[in-house]
Amino acid sequence: MRRARSLIPLTIITIACGFAAPSLADDDDYPVWKPSSDTAVSVTGPIILLPDRLKAGQANFPWRPAGALAQFKPDQASIPTRVFEVADGTNPELLDGKRLCGDKAVGWIVMVPAPPDGLEIDAYSSVDKPSSISSPGLCGTFTYKRW
């Protein structure tokens, strides 16, 4: 009985501190990628890559992982490319009314690492998952640096 009473305050403290349930991180817990191409500067501006979405300004592209590709581009380094399926064909308005895929819905976002501190993001409007840079539906290529 005595032991049970001593566990009650510990349980309350644990729940109050949030250790009992996972919490989602704030946007400021993730690094900002700064645009390094004219296209990225004019369309998205800085971006944040979160586990469940790409955030560009006030716009969000909800996504879910769809796999990795070892050789998406011919000149790709040994770091795999990550492919994400965009939920509901989202294509929100970005800077100056521009959109990732113009007037088409975004179906896929592909993140191609560009070591040591760069990232290329390719947006696709296709229904089928892209398997290489030459897959149909490529509607935008954007490059970023993490400074």
For residue 134, is it within any domain? yes
The residue assigned the tokens 């890559």 is 49
The 3-state DSSP class for residue 125 equals coil
Is residue 72 within 8 Å of residue 120, measured between CB atoms?
no
Please identify which residue in the block is written with the tokens 């690094």: 31
Integer CA distances (angstroms), 80 to 7, 33, 62, 115, in order = 47, 19, 21, 11
Q: Please report the beta strands in 53-147, taking only residues with DSSP state E, as ranges in sequence order.
A: 53-56, 59-69, 81-86, 108-114, 118-124, 138-145
Domain assignment of residue 66, yes or no: yes
Does residue 16 lie within any of the structural domains?
no
Task: Say whether pLDDT at 72 is over 60.
Answer: yes
pLDDT of amino acid 27: 54
> Is residue 11 included in any domain, yes or no?
no
**pLDDT at residue 17 tops 50:** no
1 in a structural domain: no
Task: Work out the percent of the chain whose per-residue pLDDT is above 70.
Answer: 80
Q: Does residue 61 have a pLDDT over 60?
A: yes
In a domain, 122, yes or no: yes
Range of the domain at 77: 25-145
The predicted structure's pLDDT at residue 55: 95
Number of domains in the chain: 1
Decide if 4 is inside a domain: no
The two tokens of residue 135 are 């897959």
pTM: predicted TM-score of the whole model, two decimal places:
0.78
Per DSSP, 2 falls in state: H
- Cβ 86 vs Cβ 107: under 8 Å: yes
Is residue 58, in this structure, part of any structural domain at all?
Answer: yes
pLDDT above 50: residue 77: yes
User: What average pLDDT does the segment 132-140 reach?
Assistant: 95
Of 18-27, 50-59, 91-100, 131-140, which range is least confident? 18-27
Cα 62 from Cα 64, distance rounded (Å): 7
